[in-house]
């Protein structure tokens, strides 16, 4: 079955690379207008949007900055008239060994939560208010298997920041459903991206491959079809659900 997202505007944070880039390509190919958020690399972001259809555009924002998070949402809304789907994908992961001094360790902790959790929550807040105005919408939050099974000690902040996302998603799903607002949580495992490569450079690719049930690491293209499905409205009764896409490295 071919899924059409024609007429839908989708905001994807962290859309210039990694799984976010894969999402943007798949969403645009299905007919959506994509608002691709990026942080610093304008050239890379515009290179991606130049390959997308339907008038998709790139928008810059530093998600550590609250004012820029708000401005991002308002800019996209102003440019396209409305937002139908919010995909909170942007995230960071800093290796912070427990032997670090407290100041540096806390700096990584605060930056991780600012981007992975606070910005996600604020964008959800903005989306809920907007969706109530236009008659509904969908939120897709990208968490991690680390939210459920934990992570290594040097990535405590990453695991904890992602652990908040399923609760956020469930709360929105439970208490906004009557307003025609649906919320979903995707929990990937290792996905072959630049960010994951940094971890594999540290621990070795075997660390990742030996941890999964399949022969190959998950790639962005393995997540993208689920994003398109959830954005389409064809799976609305899965609102509140967490969908694990981790090659059976965590099963619950």
**Residues involved in catalysis:** 158, 162
The structure tokens listed for 143 are: 């968490």
Nearest to 239 by CA among 131, 82, 158, 130: 131
Tell me the residue length of the chain.
252
Beta pairing partners, 138: 85, 182
E-assigned strands of the chain? 9-12, 33-38, 57-60, 85-88, 137-142, 181-188, 242-245
Provide the 8-state DSSP code for 116. I
The structure tokens listed for 133 are: 């105005």
The structure tokens listed for 69 are: 């998070």
Could you report how far apart the first and last alpha carbons of the chain are, in Å? 29
The structure tokens listed for 54 are: 């339907």
CB 20 within 8 A of CB 95: no
Residues 6+ apart with CB under 8 A from 215: none
Distance CA 184, CA 140 (A): 5
């Amino acid at each position: 079955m071919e899924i059409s997202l024609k007429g839908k505007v989708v905001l994807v944070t962290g859309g210039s690379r990694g799984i976010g880039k894969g999402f943007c390509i798949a969403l645009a190919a299905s007919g959506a207008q994509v608002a691709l958020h990026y942080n610093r690399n304008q050239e890379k972001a515009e290179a991606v949007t130049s390959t997308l259809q339907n008038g998709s555009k790139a928008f810059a924002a530093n998600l550590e900055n609250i004012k820029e998070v708000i401005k991002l949402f308002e800019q996209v809304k102003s440019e396209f008239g409305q937002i139908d789907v919010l995909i909170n994908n942007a995230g960071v992961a800093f290796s912070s060994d427990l032997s670090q001094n407290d100041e540096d360790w806390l700096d990584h902790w605060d930056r991780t939560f600012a981007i992975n959790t606070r910005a996600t929550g604020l964008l959800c807040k903005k989306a809920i208010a907007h969706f109530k105005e236009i008659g509904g919408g969908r939120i897709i939050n990208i968490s991690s298997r680390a939210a459920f099974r934990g992570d290594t000690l040097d990535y405590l902040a990453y695991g904890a920041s992602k652990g908040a996302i399923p609760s956020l998603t469930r709360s929105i799903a439970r208490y906004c459903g009557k307003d025609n607002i649906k919320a979903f949580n995707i929990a990937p495992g290792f996905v072959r991206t630049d960010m994951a490569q940094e971890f594999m450079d540290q621990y070795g690719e075997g660390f990742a491959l030996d941890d999964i049930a399949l022969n190959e690491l998950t790639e962005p293209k393995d997540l993208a079809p689920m994003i398109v499905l959830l954005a389409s409205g064809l799976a609305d009764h899965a609102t509140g659900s967490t969908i694990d896409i981790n090659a059976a490295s965590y099963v619950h």
